[in-house]
Structure 1
Amino acid sequence: MKNKIIPYKPHLKDFARELRKNSTLSEVILWQNIKMKGYDFQFHRQVPMLDYIVDFYCHELMLAIEIDGDSHLYKYEYDRFRRGELEKLGVHFLRFSDIDVKQNLFSVLLSLEQEIERLKTPLKSPQGDNTSN
């Protein structure tokens, strides 16, 4: 499957590098688990897209994972707008709270596994696989 690269503002590259160096505890926890599990797909941390940076991203599935901690408090409208802009390009989103990653990691990983399975499985038409009538 060919990766769709989403363009980004060049200045975000350095900012993303800094975010990777200064990850939150929940980002470190999730990253360690994503790396250990493998999932047959490669994820990247702090990925620039358009004018934004997403916490984790899989190019093959076009799946972004966001962890909402204190920095997302009072930013609901901004996050919704940003998500909408990226969804227009085909990006799918999973959002987890900082607390969920720290206290309910099993559920977070299960949700991630289910979303990966959903995205990698081609949709079938309601009429079945036989499209020639």
Structure 2
Amino acid sequence: MVSTSIRRAAAKRLRANTTPHERILWRALKDIPVAGTHFRRQAPIGTYVVDFFCPARHLIIELDGGHHNDDENARRDRERQLWLEQEGYRVIRFWNSEVRQNLNAVLERIYVELHGSREAEVELMKHRRRR
């Protein structure tokens, strides 16, 4: 198991070197009404560092570039997602091109994942630490 300090350092390094698509989504996530909680970016979970994480909903958002198309990366992504889901997290994935070309659709999907539907009222979310 990788030590906590190493995972935190890796996450910090990734935050300092975000992709343009991650920066676009990060700015846009601040406009989604999520009363009482927030998203974290480049958050360490287990042995992984996820792109975006909403602790109150156990929701993980991953952005994938073209390199995720090759067989080896796709296999690692599936293994990683399976582990995260077994730990109780929901994982949604978007291609970088979706963020660039249709950000509103991406944000709408995230809103639905957070609140249950497009018409749902925003509710106060509580972050509960896992023990």
RMSD: 2.0
Alignment of 1:1-133 (within 5 A): 9-10=3-4, 11-40=6-35, 41-74=37-70, 75-118=73-116
- Pick the structure with more helix per residue: 2
Moved more, 86-95 or 110-119: 110-119
After superposition, what is the alpha-carbon deviation per residue over 1:65-100, rounded to whole angstroms, capped at 9, x for unaligned? 000013423211100100111111110011000000
Moved more, 55-64 or 66-75: 66-75
Contact 1:9/1:49 (8 A) holds in 2: no
Corresponding pairs, count? 114
Task: Give the drift of 1:64.
Answer: 0.2
Q: Give the gaps of 5 or more residues in structure 1.
A: 1-7, 122-133
Task: Give the drift of 1:30.
Answer: 0.4
Give TM-score, length-normalised by structure 1: 0.79
Q: Which has the larger radius of gyration?
A: 1
Give TM-score, length-normalised by structure 2: 0.80
Q: Which of the pair has the greater relative contact order for Cα pairs under 8 Å at 6+ separation?
A: 2
Percent identity over paired residues: 35
